């Protein structure tokens, strides 16, 4: 894509701090470094978000993540955990519209990174959860 910053990084038109590269995937340090070692893993094929992946592209991208994650862990033995994030579309905090997966090393509860999942369990009855389940399962069967 012509004006995509990540496509320009892949083509080395814009410099990056490359961590990993093969024929399908490019991984590099996020310039914001939410925590030390914060890495982005992107497909070389331009897709905007997860909704544009097919099974082959998903396998290509997501199969590389454990190797890159282990490399970060080996590089920073003080790391105590790792968040893997994939934001899709603007409402979900995607800011660059070339699909990417964040690998965010965690060092302590005070490392200036947090995720909050609200607990809304009491707001849904078993029947409502079952309806949600059936609605999604029906679509899973229709998509292929």
Domain residue spans of the chain: 5-110
Structure tokens at 83: 């968040």
Residue 136 has pLDDT above 80, yes or no: yes
For residue 116, the Cα-to-chain-centroid distance in whole angstroms is 17
Note the pLDDT tens digit of each residue in 77-106. Answer: 999 999 999 999 999 999 999 999 999 999
Residue 144 has pLDDT above 80, yes or no: no
* Global model pTM greater than 0.85: yes
Catalytically active residues, by annotation: 100
Q: Which CATH number fits domain 5-110: 3.30.565.10, 3.10.20.30, 3.30.70.890, 3.30.428.10?
A: 3.30.428.10
Q: State mean pLDDT over 50-77.
A: 98
Bridge-partner residues for 40, per DSSP? 28, 102
d(CA 89, CA 91): 6
**Position with higher pLDDT, 141 vs 13:** 13
Structure tokens at 99: 């699909």
């Amino acid at each position: 894509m012509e004006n995509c910053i990540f496509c320009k990084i892949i083509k080395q038109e814009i410099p990056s701090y490359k961590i990993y590269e093969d024929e399908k995937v490019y991984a590099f340090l996020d310039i914001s470094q939410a925590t030390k070692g914060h890495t982005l893993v992107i497909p070389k094929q331009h897709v905007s978000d997860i909704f544009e992946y097919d099974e082959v592209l998903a396998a290509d991208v997501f199969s590389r993540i454990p190797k890159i994650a282990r490399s970060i862990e080996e590089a920073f033995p003080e790391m105590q955990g790792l968040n893997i994030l994939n934001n899709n579309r603007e409402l979900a905090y995607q800011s660059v519209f070339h699909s990417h997966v964040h690998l965010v090393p965690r060092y302590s509860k005070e490392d200036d990174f947090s995720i909050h999942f609200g607990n809304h369990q009491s707001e849904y009855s078993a029947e409502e959860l079952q309806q949600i389940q059936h609605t999604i399962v029906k679509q899973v069967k229709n998509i292929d």
